[in-house]
Structure 1
């Protein structure tokens, strides 16, 4: 039986790559895609999600969600993803219709109507997820797991401490990690090692229309150094985990989010259980880089 998945996203170039694999993997059934302001503003993230769904001719419903964080002023990441978030490839204009309600309502409806538990994958800020859990707590019984790309225990990519997705809306992240649900988190400790190098990117270029699209996006992406170290495929880690969890190692621990001051958005873990023995997350701590790279290339090779 396919795993039922809802993907909450802010495309974004690595989001587009994660959607590419998730939409086409035979072990996953993407029930809904929802958008949130993050890498770029909500109008752009929603248009970008439309373009990816159109590219693969997928009849997956799409809902637009939150345009601002719960309490903080919104900051984007256009310096890494470009002004529109998905520059570099000439996607046709999309006429795809959005679902009528706010994404939080549409996610709630989809979860409650499902005939099996649903996995919620968040690869952007957690605003929609936090609102969902606070407004409609009845969905918790039908959520298998929330899989998050966010946070860091090895220094930040926005300042010395905070990772982007959590820093955009730390209050939302704190709500989600303390929801009592199964929470699996992929932070920079692992995702910064989830690399595609220049040779990999050149190989992808030759893999049909999908390869051409991804190559065009990757060569406009500033999430890493293609010439020296490679590009970081942060968001793809969440999708890889759904079908190949053996590629990662995890540690159950307690995690809290700093909410204010210069450390706002920092994620603090209590590996030694000195603060509390209550474990609220399963944190990815290691990745098999070769298996991860081989898996991505194999997934893309299946597509045309």
Structure 2
């Protein structure tokens, strides 16, 4: 069983990733932490509560940073709706949060763990950057950081920058420069990780969980349901932990632009012309059919 902490900003595709991660017997989700990203921190935290309540999970939840490190915050509510999980009527949650800031709670959990923990970030990297800089001893107990973020093709916020990295590029650069094993899933791959209209319609018939996800997906604007399908960006990180051979990877040197009109852009030296150093394992391709079949299989388990 792989032990993980998921740092998240739910978000509709976050909710789908959490659905699979929380219910797969090969993963032990030690903690969820929230960060401002797709919507503001109040909404992302409430949404995480509602997902945990929906599946009746006792997974600890901690509230993290409400703002990026050094720049103004911009959300993605135009894609995810005002609350981040519009489309399904979740009951209000009375779940209690862990008492300390998410960064402190992550530090405590990681240092107390007998085995190394994998950190999965499916939102901006603010919490992760603070964790690694404030408590560098945790690096000895982190197996790997798995990131959904960045792009080595086109961006989804402007011509080059992906949303999670653009929200807090300084944090992203700090994490990538941490010296830890880093695996990154950017838009080169996640924009191909799609569910098509017929897949979304089939999900509706997969019991209570299928009904919930179908309701969220039909309110999600991360793609075009009628043509290319809906992009399941965040699920790629969970799929990698369980079925890594669905993807192809290349080790390379990558850095983040932090200033000016290119801020948030990730630049990968895929040809090795800039340096021989390699600081990330970058996902460069995906078996789309296997990914789609795997997602539907995982959801079907949860009837």
What TM-score results when the alignment is normalised by the length of structure 2?
1.00
Structure 2 residue 82 is matched with structure 1 residue 99: no
Q: How many residues align?
A: 303
Instruction: Find the counterpart in structure 2 of residue 219 from structure 1.
Output: 218
Q: How far apart are the structure 2 equivalents of 1:218 and 1:240?
A: 18
Aligned to 1:200: 199
Instruction: Name the SS of the counterpart of 2:281 in structure 1.
Output: strand
Structure 1 runs of 4+ aligned residues shifted over 3 Å read none
How well do the aligned residues superpose, as a CA RMSD in angstroms? 0.4
Q: Displacement, 1:271? A: 1.2
In structure 1, list runs of 5 or more residues that go unmatched: none
Map of 1:269 onto structure 2: 268
Secondary structure of the residue that 1:33 maps to in structure 2?
A: strand
TM-score between both structures, scaled by the size of structure 1 = 0.99
Distance 2:277 2:171 in 1: 20
Q: Please name the residue that 2:10 is paired with.
A: 11
Correspondence 1:13-162 to 2 at 5 A: 13-162=12-161
Q: What do residues 184-243 of structure 1 show as CA deviations (whole Å, max 9, x unaligned)?
A: 000000000000000000000000000000000000000000001100000000000000
- Deviation track 1:107-138 (CA, whole Å, cap 9, x = no partner) reads 00010111100000000000000000000000
CA distance in 2, matches of 1:91, 1:50: 10
Structure 2 unmatched ranges of 5 or more:
none
Could you tell me how far apart the structure 2 residues matched to 1:274 and 1:211 are? 47
User: Per-residue displacement from partner, 1:72-114 (whole Å, max 9, x unpaired)?
Assistant: 1000000000000000000000000000000000000010111
Q: Secondary structure at 2:291's aligned position in 1?
A: helix
1:125-181, Cα deviation, whole Å (9 max, x unpaired): 000000000000000000000000000000100000100000000000000001000
CA distance in 2, matches of 1:291, 1:36: 31
SS of 2:108 mapped into structure 1: helix
Instruction: Work out the CA distance in 2 between the residues paired with 1:7 and 1:61.
Output: 11
Q: Supply the distance in 2 between the matched residues of 1:294 and 1:66 (Cα, whole angstroms).
A: 35
CA distance in 1, matches of 2:293, 2:112: 36
Question: Which whole-Å CA distance do the structure 1 matches of 2:131 and 2:101 have between them?
Answer: 11
Residue of structure 2 in register with 1:284 after alignment: 283
